[in-house]
Structure 1
Amino acid sequence: MNHPDISICIVNLNAREYLRNCLRSIPQAAQNLSSEVIVVDNSSTDGSAQMVREDFATIKLITNNQNLGYSRPMNQAMRAATGKYLIQLNPDTLPHPFAFDKLYQFMEANPSIGICSPKVLNRDGSLQLQCRRSAARPWDTITYFSGLSRLFPTSRTFAGYLMTYLPENQIAEVEAVSGSCMFIRRAVIEQIGYLDENFFAYQEDADYCYRARQAGWKIYYYPFAEVTHFGGQGGSRTEPYRAIMEWHRSYFLYYRKHLAREYFFLINWLMYLAMAGKLGFSLIKAWLSKEKIVGTPKP
C-alpha cells in the first residue's frame, strides 16, 4: 500500500463556509505532494457534513453525534491518517499556495525537527503571534497578561511568551506552536502517541509540543510557508461560555501536568489563584459583551 506524503486532519464544528474554502485551498498548498484529507465533524448543525459529502467526495469524513471537543476528534482523524507527515489544521484557515510543499521540504531536510509551524497570518495579513511561543511558564504569563510584553516587545525578558523580539521572517526553534496549523512527523506520533484527551479543547497543542521536546524532538517556526487563520469561527464562537471554561480548565491541567514540579508550592498556588481570578473576569466580560461571543483566550 502506498502511503501519501501528508495527511491533513481537520476537526470542524459549525464552520461550513470556512471549511469549504479551506478544503478548496489544499490542492494549491500541496501541489507537489500526494495527500489525503480527513475531516471529523462534531455534530455541526450548519450542514457542514452534508457539504463535505456533496462537494468533496474523495475526502474521508467522520461524523460524531455530539461535540467531543478538539483533542478526541483530532485523535480520530490522526488514527485514520496514513501519511508520512500529519497536519493538524483548523477549518477556519486558508493555506497559501505551496505552503505544505515548503513545510515538507523543510522537514525532510531537517530530520531532528519533529513539529513545525508555518507563518500564521491574521485576516489583515499581520502575524498571528501565537504561532510561535514559549511553554507559558509563570514569568511569561505574568508579563503577557500584565501588558509588559506589549510595552517591551523587543525584550527577551518581557516578551518571552510570544517571542516578539524575533523578526517574523526568521526561522526559529521554539518551545510551542499553534494547533491552527501544526506539521508533525509520523515518528513523533509513533514515539509519544496522540493528543492527551484530558484536554477537551485548548492547550492540547502546548502539551503535545512539550511532550515532543521531552522526547528529544525540536519544534520549529518556518515563516516561508504561510497560512491565514481567521480565528474564533465555529466552536468557540457558538459556545462562548463553554469555551472560556474549557480554556481555563485546560491551562490549569497543562500547568499542573508539566510546570508545577519546577516551582515552589507558593508560586504554584499564586498561579492557581491568578487562573481563578482570570476565569471570573473573562466570564463577566463575556456576559457584558453585546454579542456574547468570545475568541480563543490566550496564551
Structure 2
Amino acid sequence: MLSEVKQNPYLLVVIVNYRTPKLTIDCLHSLVEEIKILPNTKVVVVDNYSGDNSAEQIRAEINTQQWQDWVSFIAAERNGGYAYGNNLGIRPALESDNKPDYVLLLNPDTVVRPKALKVLVDFMEAHPQVGIAGSRLEDPDGTPQHSAFRFHSIWSELDCALRFGPISKLLQSKIIAPPVSDVTCQTDWVAGASMIIRREVFDSVSLLDEEYFMYYEEVDFCLQANRAGWSCWYVPESRVVHLVGQSSGVTVTKVRPKRRPKYWFDSRKRFFIKNYGFIYAVLADLFWMTGFSLWTIRRSIQNKIDNDPPYLLQDFFSNSVIFKFTN
C-alpha cells in the first residue's frame, strides 16, 4: 500500500469546464505561479461539450498566454457529467508511459491561493499511506467553506432534513459537515473542487464512477478508496477560493437555489443503493422525508424563511426509491 516517495513528483491537474470559460481562464491564471513552484506539473482542461464558445475562448487564451507547454485541451464529444469529464483527462495519463504520481481534481470555479498545490503535494509526499487529500475551500473574502465531511447515513439524512438543534446535538458524530477545522485532520471525504489523489488509488478502485452525472461521485470515490485501505485527509494550509455552484446553480449559498435537477436525486439514489443496498436506501429516503416534513411544519409555525429549492419535497418523493419501486 505504501508509495515510493519521489524528489520531483509529477502532478496532473484536471479541470472540467461546462459553460464557464471565463472562470476556467481565471483558474488557469491562478495556476501560473504554482507551475513555477512545481515545474513537473501538467494541466488538462476538458470542455464537457458546453455547446457555446467555451472551447474557442479557452484555446485562444492558452495560445495567447503561451501556456501550451503545461496546459492541454480536450473537447468532449458529449456532456457525460462530472465523473465522465474528469476521466477523459485522467485515463490517457494513467495509460501513458509517463504516469502522474498525483492527480488533482480542480473545479473551474476556483482560484488557488499561493502554494496551495505545493502544500498538497508536500503533504502527500510526507504521508505515503494517505490516498486522498483536500484543500480548505473558502469565499473570496477568506470565509471558510465546509470542505471535509463524514459519509452519508440514514442518521445524517434525518439531521440534514429535520434541522432541529437537540437532534443535531444527539447526532453530532453522524452529521455530514462537522465544524470547519483549522488543523490538518483525517476525514471521510473531501470536496471534489480541490482533491488530490495518489495514482495508486486508481489502481485500487479504478476511475470515478461515470454512472453519477453530477454530485456524490467524489463521496463514492472516497468511500471506495476507504474500503480499499486508503485514508483521506483535510489540509487547510492549502487554500482555494471556491465560487460555489457556478456551473450547476444547485449549491449556490448566497441566493435561494433553483429547483433541484433530476440528476441530483439520481446520484443520491445510486450512492445509497450501490454502497448500502436497497433496504438501506429506502430507510434513507424515509428518514429524510420524515425529517423534512417535520421541518416544513415547524418552519410554517415559526414563520421562518424558506431557503430550500422550490418543490423539494415533491421532487424528492417522485424521485425516491420507494416511488420508483411502486410505479
Could you tell me how far 1:156 is from its partner in structure 2?
6.7
Q: Is the contact made by 2:154 and 2:283 (CA closer than 8 Å) also made in structure 1?
A: no
Q: Determine what percentage of the aligned residue pairs are the same residue.
A: 28
Give the match for residue 145 of structure 1. Answer: 161
Give the match for residue 186 of structure 2. Answer: 173
Give the match for residue 120 of structure 2. Answer: 103
Which among 14, 20, 31 is matched to residue 26 of structure 1?
A: 31
One-letter amino acid of the structure 2 residue matched with residue 202 of structure 1: Y
Could you tell me how far 1:118 is from its partner in structure 2?
0.8
Give the match for residue 79 of structure 1. Answer: 91
| Aligned: 1:157 with 2:145 | no
CA–CA separation in structure 2 for the residues paired with 1:235 and 1:138: 26
One-letter amino acid of the structure 1 residue matched with residue 22 of structure 2: E
CA–CA separation in structure 2 for the residues paired with 1:242 and 1:11: 23
Could you tell me how far 1:4 is from its partner in structure 2?
6.2
One-letter amino acid of the structure 2 residue matched with residue 196 of structure 1: D
Give the match for residue 148 of structure 2. Answer: 132
CA–CA separation in structure 1 for the residues paired with 2:281 and 2:53: 45
One-letter amino acid of the structure 2 residue matched with residue 172 of structure 1: C
Moved over 3 A (4+): 148-153, 240-243, 273-278
CA–CA separation in structure 2 for the residues paired with 1:30 and 1:227: 16
1:56 is paired with a residue whose SS is helix
Change (3 A) 1:268 1:194: closer
User: Once structures 1 and 2 are overlaid, which stretch shifts more, 185-194 or 26-35?
Assistant: 26-35
CA–CA separation in structure 2 for the residues paired with 1:242 and 1:40: 27
Which among 42, 47, 51 is matched to residue 57 of structure 2?
A: 51
Q: Is the contact made by 2:101 and 2:199 (CA closer than 8 Å) also made in structure 1?
A: yes
Correspondences of 1:266-281 after superposition (within 5 Å):
268-273=281-286
Give the match for residue 205 of structure 1. Answer: 218
Q: Is the contact made by 1:149 and 1:158 (CA closer than 8 Å) also made in structure 2?
A: no
Q: For 1:190-248, what per-residue CA distance to the aligned partner results, in whole angstroms no more than 9, with x for missing partners?
A: 221100111111100000000000000000001111001101112446xx989621111
Change (3 A) 1:94 1:275: same
- Radius of gyration: which is bigger? 2
Q: Is the contact made by 1:143 and 1:149 (CA closer than 8 Å) also made in structure 2?
A: no
Q: Is the contact made by 2:187 and 2:232 (CA closer than 8 Å) also made in structure 1?
A: yes
Give the match for residue 272 of structure 2. Answer: 255
2:237 is paired with a residue whose SS is strand
| Aligned: 1:6 with 2:11 | yes
Q: Is the contact made by 2:157 and 2:288 (CA closer than 8 Å) also made in structure 1?
A: no
| Cα RMSD (Å) | 2.8
One-letter amino acid of the structure 1 residue matched with residue 216 of structure 2: Q
TM-score, normalised by the number of residues in structure 2 = 0.75
Q: For 1:118-167, what per-residue CA distance to the aligned partner results, in whole angstroms no more than 9, with x for missing partners?
A: 111133422211x10011111122112222469857x7726631111xx5
One-letter amino acid of the structure 2 residue matched with residue 96 of structure 1: R
Change (3 A) 1:207 1:17: same
Which among 223, 230, 241 is matched to residue 243 of structure 2?
A: 230
One-letter amino acid of the structure 2 residue matched with residue 189 of structure 1: F
1:25 is paired with a residue whose SS is helix
CA–CA separation in structure 2 for the residues paired with 1:150 and 1:183: 36
Structure 1 gap ranges (5+): 288-299
CA–CA separation in structure 2 for the residues paired with 1:223 and 1:136: 22
CA–CA separation in structure 2 for the residues paired with 1:150 and 1:79: 47
Could you tell me how far 1:28 is from its partner in structure 2?
2.4
CA–CA separation in structure 1 for the residues paired with 2:189 and 2:45: 24
